Amino acid sequence: MTDQPTTTITQIRSVAINVDDQDAALAFYAGVLGFEVRIDTGPSPAGRWIEIAPPGGATTVALVAAPGATQGGVDTGIRFTTADVLADHTALRTAGVDVDAEVSNWPGVPPMFSLRDPEGNTVYILEG
């Protein structure tokens, strides 16, 4: 291939998590994880569009109503960073969030754990 296309893409705007209950997902990500609500269009003919993000974060997470047969309960591959993974793990476990039993510590990899939201979607918390 000699002619490679070029773009002007500069950032990742958002990633999506499919959910069946947008209200419950919003309550979890905003209320439990402390994310900011950046956009919540409310019900409309086109559907509800919700974007949340960690305070000060540039990339948002869109909480998208699961279309048709697409359901929540998947490994999203999304990784969030924290300054203190052990404190967050303890706080979330104490709050009753479905988190891994322990924080993982592998050589050359930041300490991390995964958690499941109320619909079973897996996200990861890494120290960084």
pTM given for the model: 0.88
What is the reported pLDDT for 102? 97
Asked if 24 and 119 touch (Cβ cutoff 8 Å), the reply is yes
Look at 108 and 73; give whichever has higher pLDDT: 108
Whether 70 shows a pLDDT value over 70: the answer reads no
Q: Which of 23-37, 68-82, 91-105, 106-120 has the lowest mean pLDDT?
A: 68-82
> Which phi and psi (to 5°) does residue 23 adopt?
-65, -45
Task: Give domain limits for the chain.
Answer: 14-127
The residue ranking higher by pLDDT, 3 or 34, is 34
The predicted structure's pLDDT at residue 5: 83
Tokens 């919003």 belong to 26
121 vs 15: CA distance, rounded Å: 13
Task: Spell out the CATH class of 14-127.
Answer: alpha beta
Label residue 51 exposed, middle or buried (CB < 10 Å: 0-12, 13-18, 19+).
Answer: buried
Grade residue 114 by pLDDT with cuts at 50, 70 and 90: very high
User: How many other C-beta atoms lie within 10 A of the C-beta of residue 127?
Assistant: 18
